[in-house]
Amino acid sequence: MSPPMFPRTPAAAAFRSLERVLVRRRLLGVDLRLRLELLALAGLLGGFLFWQARIPLDGLLRMRGEGAVAAAVLATLLAMAALGGLIAGSRHAVRLRRGPPGPPWLALPLPPELLGRHLAFDSSAPALALVVPAAGVLLGAAGLAPAWWLAGCALAFAVSLAAAVGLGCAIAFRTAAAAVPSRPALHPLTRVLATAARRARSARLPAPRWRGGPVWLTLWRKDLLLSWRPTPARQRALPPIVLAPLAALVWWLPLEIPVARLLAFALALLAAATFAEWLIALAGCDPFAVLRTLPVGVGAVWGARMASAAAGVALLLAGQAAGARALDPQPHALFLVWTGAATLAIATLGANYGVTTYPHHDQAQRLLGLSLGVAMAASIMIPLLGWVLLLTAVLHSLRRLPRWTALEAS
């Protein structure tokens, strides 16, 4: 995506500088583990699309030749660019409606055109993620069409993505401006932002359901609610939601069974690790002074987290059970037992660390990463040693659960 064209004014320079800082901060703000997870996800998605594209493109080459392959690749990339425009436009529309992030923009002496360009730039960032599937499709076509044709397709994708994103944001802005009352003296952006600020002040949530039930169930419901709302727990919920279905989809790829089994198992472990991170993030969402002054014991807190752990592992196993049907009954059962035990141990470790280090969830995330890293390294060095270490960590953290009652905030 090309950067927006700013006129040469001090405000334009300030916006360019702000955007550079924002991009840098957002990249640095993602911790190393999450960066690696995102890279792994991008690799998996790219690889998946590579295989999905390679076989039909190869068939196309045999039937209609190189030109048809290049045309198919170009059409796919243009469709992706259009999707990018849709993503950027819908995100821009939502942000204009709810009020864009940042300072109180209307209080700053800024030309509305400049501000509008900056807000569109900020809304467009997720569309860049389409570079990953586009790269997967281009790699899938490598060798099936001349390289310079594919380079042209890549260039066309970059240009059309930038154009689609710009068009999407422009449509979003015009739609937002049309939806607010007309005031000829005011710039449309000013009207849109002023209306958004009024909406933001009066944002309402649905009325709660007043209900009883055991304490662990109330805590579990609260955990689900916090994962639904814009909290750090919601951000952590996304990777396992993506990884668990990918782990099941592996079985449908044209792979040898041993390779598919290994890949599915590795992805299931990765899904369990990110799921454990979500469980820890939930612990981080509980305000210390709220939870500790309530008549809540460690059993209820741990029970709520383990209910989530058990439900997550059950869903993951259901996907694997459906996917691994190609295996004979005995290896199938063994694979499920092995995967279930490993993923449940990892999820339990996350739940335990979240409880025993409360309210220092950052320490819990580091402990989890360290424990899983050591277990994996040990498994590579000596078969099964990693499992011994993992189970030891689970048992050790279980023994420390009663500490929860005496933990302090500082």
Partner 1 sequence: MLKVEELSRRYDSLLALDRVSLEVRPGEILGLLGANGAGKSTLLRTAAGLQPPDAGRIEVAGADVWREPIEAKRRLGYAPEEPTFYEEISAAEYLAFLAAIRGLEPAAAAARAHELFRSLGLVDRVDEPVHRFSHGMRKKLSFAAALLHHPPVLLCDEAIEGFDAAAALAAKQVLRERAADGCAVLFSSHVTETIERLCDRVVILHRGRVARTLARADWGGRDSGLSPLEQEFLGILAAAAPPAPA
Does the footprint of partner 1 cover residue 387 (CB under 8 A)?
no
137-156: contacts with partner 1 (CB under 8 A): none
290-309: contacts with partner 1 (CB under 8 A): 290, 292-297
Task: Tell me whether residue 182 or residue 405 sits nearer to partner 1 (CB atom).
Answer: 405
206-245: contacts with partner 1 (CB under 8 A): 206-213, 215, 218-219, 222, 225-226, 229-231
248-287: contacts with partner 1 (CB under 8 A): 285-287
Select the residue interacting with partner 1 from 32, 107, 289, 384 (CB under 8 A). Answer: 289
Beta-carbon neighbour count of residue 355 at 10 Å?
25
3-state secondary structure at position 111: coil
Q: 126, 107, 106: which is closest to 116 by C-alpha?
A: 106
Q: Count residues contacting partner 1 (CB under 8 A)?
A: 39
Residue pointed to by tokens 């960590």:
393
Task: Tell me whether residue 295 or residue 329 sits nearer to partner 1 (CB atom).
Answer: 295
Query: Which stretch, 32-40, 185-193, 199-207, 258-266, contacts partner 1 (CB under 8 A)?
Result: 199-207
Q: Residue 290: is it exposed, middle or buried by C-beta count within 10 angstroms (0-12/13-18/19+)?
A: exposed
Does the footprint of partner 1 cover residue 13 (CB under 8 A)?
no
Name every residue whose Cβ is closer than 8 Å to that of residue 14 and which is 6 or more positions away in sequence: none
Percent helix, strand, coil in the chain, to 5, is: 80, 0, 20
Amino acid identity for residue 106 in this structure: L
Instruction: State the nearest-atom distance from the C-beta of 297 to partner 1, in Å.
Output: 5
Task: Tell me whether residue 224 or residue 321 sits nearer to partner 1 (CB atom).
Answer: 224
Instruction: State the nearest-atom distance from the C-beta of 308 to partner 1, in Å.
Output: 17
Instruction: State the nearest-atom distance from the C-beta of 94 to partner 1, in Å.
Output: 17
| Tokens read off for 281 | 């993030």
| Tokens read off for 186 | 């005011």
Q: Taking a C-beta distance cutoff of 8 angstroms, is the pair 276, 346 a contact? A: yes
Residue pointed to by tokens 């425009």:
85
What's the CA gap between 96 and 81, in Å, rounded?
Answer: 22
Instruction: State the nearest-atom distance from the C-beta of 102 to partner 1, in Å.
Output: 17
Dihedral (CA of 373, 377, 379, 385) sign: negative
Instruction: State the nearest-atom distance from the C-beta of 181 to partner 1, in Å.
Output: 24
Task: Tell me whether residue 213 or residue 383 sits nearer to partner 1 (CB atom).
Answer: 213
Q: 328, 333, 334, 319: which is closest to 247 by C-alpha?
A: 319
Instruction: State the nearest-atom distance from the C-beta of 313 to partner 1, in Å.
Output: 26
What's the CA gap between 18 and 6, in Å, rounded?
Answer: 13
Task: Tell me whether residue 346 or residue 355 sits nearer to partner 1 (CB atom).
Answer: 355
Instruction: State the nearest-atom distance from the C-beta of 347 to partner 1, in Å.
Output: 23
Q: Is the peptide bond before 10 cis (omega within 30 degrees of 0)?
A: no
Dihedral (CA of 147, 149, 153, 156) sign: positive
Instruction: State the nearest-atom distance from the C-beta of 378 to partner 1, in Å.
Output: 37
Residue pointed to by tokens 């790829």:
253
Encoded one letter per residue, x for contact with partner 1 by CB under 8 A and - for no contact, window 31-70 reads: ----------------------------------------
Task: Tell me whether residue 8 or residue 204 sits nearer to partner 1 (CB atom).
Answer: 204
Instruction: State the nearest-atom distance from the C-beta of 135 to partner 1, in Å.
Output: 36
What's the CA gap between 49 and 156, in Å, rounded?
Answer: 19
Task: Tell me whether residue 37 or residue 286 sits nearer to partner 1 (CB atom).
Answer: 286
**Contact residues: partner 1, CB under 8 A:** 200-213, 215, 218-219, 222, 225-226, 229-231, 285-290, 292-297, 405-406, 408-409
